Structure 1
Amino acid sequence: MTGEYFLLVCDDVPHDVVLTDPGVRVLDVAQVVHRLTGLSLWRSKVLATQVPAVILTGVPQENASAAVSALRRAGAQAETREQPGRIS
């Protein structure tokens, strides 16, 4: 019997939210990061200034898109990235 591997495709592919540039309003972006992650405001500011920074990992597409929209409204540049598929 030969081993066969299949890649299952589903609708809920996990995404990461990556902050690529905080822009000029770093404190506004840090407040959004604080709301999204639950980190302290100080840690959120540190995370916002060390780009590229992964803000959220393994979230559904809808949540990732909402987070990116919130970051962009605050003046940052952010993007969603699909997590690579894992074959076990």
Structure 2
Amino acid sequence: MADEYFLLVCDDVPHDVVLTDPGVRMLDVAPVVRRLTGLSLWRSKVLATQVPAVVLDGVPREEAAAAVVALCDAGARAETREQPEPEFLKH
């Protein structure tokens, strides 16, 4: 029997957190990026300057929303984006 994959209705669609603008307080945004990603401070600063940048990839909706709030509180602009449905699930 062939392997089949199903996306259950109860499954949370993974979200990405995208940093769209670090704002004028980029030095306040870099530590938040560091806390969210676990990267070094230097790599977090580089990531924050290369916008648009995916800060978190494939996280649940609640975690993505909390990350966006943390980034916005630091002076950045960020958004959540639903990940597209995988090709093998499309019919």
Which 5+ residue runs of structure 1 have no aligned equivalent? 1-5
Give the percent of matched residue pairs that are identical in Structure 1 and Structure 2: 81
| C-alpha separation in 1, matches of 2:61 and 2:18 | 13
Q: Tell me the distance in 1 between the aligned counterparts of 2:10 and 2:58.
A: 14
Q: How far did residue 62 of structure 1 move?
A: 0.1
State the partner residue of 1:30. Answer: 30
- Matched residue type, 1:60: P
TM-score for both structures, normalised by structure 1: 0.88
Matched, 1:18 2:22: no
1:49 aligned partner: 49
Q: Report the residue type matching 1:14 in the other structure.
A: P
> Cα gap change, 1:59/1:7 in structure 2, threshold over 3 Å: closer, same or farther?
closer
The Cα offsets for residues 36-82 of structure 1, whole Å up to 9 and x where unpaired, read as 00000000000000000000000000000000000000000000000
1:31 to partner: Cα distance: 0.4
Contact persistence 1:28–1:74 (CA under 8 A): yes
Distance 1:10 1:86, change over 3 A: farther
When the two chains are superposed, the root-mean-square deviation of aligned CA atoms in Å is 1.4
Residue 86 of structure 1 and its aligned partner are, at CA, apart by 1.3
How far off is 1:33 after superposition? Answer: 0.1
Normalising by the residue count of structure 2, what TM-score does the alignment of the two structures yield? Answer: 0.85
